[in-house]
Amino acid sequence: MPIHIPRHGFDHATPSDITPRAIYEQRRDLIKLLAGGAAGAVLAGWAARDAMAQTPRPGKLAALPGARSAVAGAVTMEKLTDYGDVTGYNNFYEFGTDKADPARHAHALQTSPWSVEIEGLVNKPGRYALEDLLKLSPMEERIYRLRCVEGWSMVIPWVGYSLSALIKRVEPQGSARYVEFVTLADPKQMPGLRSRVLDWPYTEALRLDEALHPLTLLTFGMYGEVLPKQNGAPVRLVVPWKYGFKSAKSIVKIRFIEQEPRTAWNKAAANEYGFYSNVNPDVDHPRWSQATERRIGEDGLFAKKRKTLLFNGYEAQVGQLYAGMDLRKNY
């Protein structure tokens, strides 16, 4: 039975919040140490429960707990965005362009059975069943900021593991330079495909070193549960230092290629959506500034604005990937 934690106990990352977290981490380390011993099974159970205790579980979908991630930059102490906002205010154009459309229409999405085809320049191509992907590496919880190109942001506790675990498993060949993500495009399930707003299927891509970066999360859940359909069930990407549209939802194919591919948004408006799309307050979108953002749920819809951070605040972790590159040209 999941233990119930009152929401407000976790909503505000105040200094008084930080001490219990530190104690909690020490306890986890202790549990890990002890878990090797005879009482291992019981203690592992406690550890799993501890992981759950980090984040309030909404109790709406199947549980998918993840242990606190050890990856640097995986946790922000900012207040989590309300689950209702994270599941009610979405971009998922396959279900319509209005922010409320995905929550309204995504229930039609069949997420089981599901598989992801791995193809292109790898030694181990093939169709990977979702069940096998779920077991490929231990689940971690990562609290990441998601910064949408339109100027809003959220803070979400995602559950998944580094995409690098899967990439290493399929053994990219030396010529593989880019990783492309192809998402589901089924007109029977997705009413938004009737509109020509994008060239379906929605595709995205990363340079191989970006895809291998430990922060790049192959994501199966959020808030301790499997992903809601409007958030990209059953498997999506989350690339926290890039604008949200790089984080492709409902992935059906991962392709290893040599040349930088066009992406769905790049095809729609190349001057507005470059290949890199790293969050950058100094490079404006042609039609609006990127210097600030509004945090969903904070002080009303159009109230206070926050300063947008270079690489969405993950510069220490990912800045090196772009050393020597002109970020104005490679936007």
Ligand X SMILES: Nc1nc2c(c(=O)[nH]1)N[C@H]1C(S)=C(S)[C@@H](COP(=O)(O)O)O[C@H]1N2
247 binds, among ligand X, Mo ion, none (CB under 5 to 8 A by kind): ligand X
Cβ 11 to ligand X shortest distance, Å: 19
| Amino acid making up residue 123 | N
The answer on whether 27 is annotated among ligand-binding residues is no
The answer on whether 79 is annotated among ligand-binding residues is no
Q: Is 91 in the site for Mo ion (CB under 5 A)?
A: yes
Comparing CB distances to Mo ion, the nearer of 67 and 148 is: 148
Q: How many CB atoms lie within 10 A of CB 301?
A: 10
Cβ 309 to Mo ion shortest distance, Å: 17
How far apart are alpha carbons 56 and 58 in whole angstroms?
A: 6
Comparing CB distances to Mo ion, the nearer of 172 and 244 is: 244
Assign 95 to helix, strand or coil: helix
Contact 204, 257 (CB under 8 A): no
Assign 31 to helix, strand or coil: helix
The answer on whether 93 is annotated among ligand-binding residues is yes
280 binds, among Mo ion, ligand X, none (CB under 5 to 8 A by kind): none
State the pairing for strand pair 178-183/152-162. Answer: unpaired
Cβ 124 to ligand X shortest distance, Å: 25
Comparing CB distances to Mo ion, the nearer of 178 and 265 is: 265
State the pairing for strand pair 236-238/217-222. Answer: antiparallel
The answer on whether 231 is annotated among ligand-binding residues is yes
157 binds, among Mo ion, ligand X, none (CB under 5 to 8 A by kind): none
143 binds, among ligand X, Mo ion, none (CB under 5 to 8 A by kind): none
The answer on whether 249 is annotated among ligand-binding residues is yes
- 253's enclosing H/E stretch is strand 251-257
229 binds, among Mo ion, ligand X, none (CB under 5 to 8 A by kind): none
Phi, psi angle pair for 214, to nearest 5°:
-55, -25
Taking residues 123 to 152 in sequence order and writing x for each that binds Mo ion by CB under 5 A, - otherwise, the string is -------------------------xx---
Q: Classify burial at 89, counting beta carbons within 10 Å of its beta carbon; exposed 0-12, middle 13-18, buried 19 or more.
A: buried
- 252's enclosing H/E stretch is strand 251-257
How far apart are alpha carbons 319 and 103 in whole angstroms?
A: 35
The answer on whether 78 is annotated among ligand-binding residues is no
- 106's enclosing H/E stretch is none
Cβ 231 to ligand X shortest distance, Å: 4
Contact 63, 57 (CB under 8 A): yes
The answer on whether 35 is annotated among ligand-binding residues is no
Residues of the shown chain interacting with ligand X in the complex, contacts defined by CB under 6 A: 90-94, 146, 148, 154, 183, 202, 231-232, 244-245, 247-250
- Cis peptide leading into residue 261 (ω within 30°): no
CA-nearest of 308, 176, 286 to 242 is: 308
92 binds, among ligand X, Mo ion, none (CB under 5 to 8 A by kind): ligand X
Comparing CB distances to ligand X, the nearer of 47 and 217 is: 217
Contact 230, 91 (CB under 8 A): no
Assign 178 to helix, strand or coil: strand
Comparing CB distances to ligand X, the nearer of 47 and 254 is: 254
Comparing CB distances to Mo ion, the nearer of 97 and 320 is: 97
Give me the sheet containing 251-257, strands edge to edge. 126-129, 115-120, 251-257, 178-183, 203-207
Comparing CB distances to ligand X, the nearer of 121 and 238 is: 238
231 binds, among Mo ion, ligand X, none (CB under 5 to 8 A by kind): ligand X
Q: Is 245 in the site for Mo ion (CB under 5 A)?
A: yes
List of residues contacting Mo ion (CB under 5 A)? 91, 148-149, 244-245
Query: Residues annotated as binding site?
Result: 90, 93-94, 148, 183, 231, 236, 247-249
Query: Residues annotated as binding site for Mo-molybdopterin?
Result: 90, 93-94, 148, 183, 231, 236, 247-249
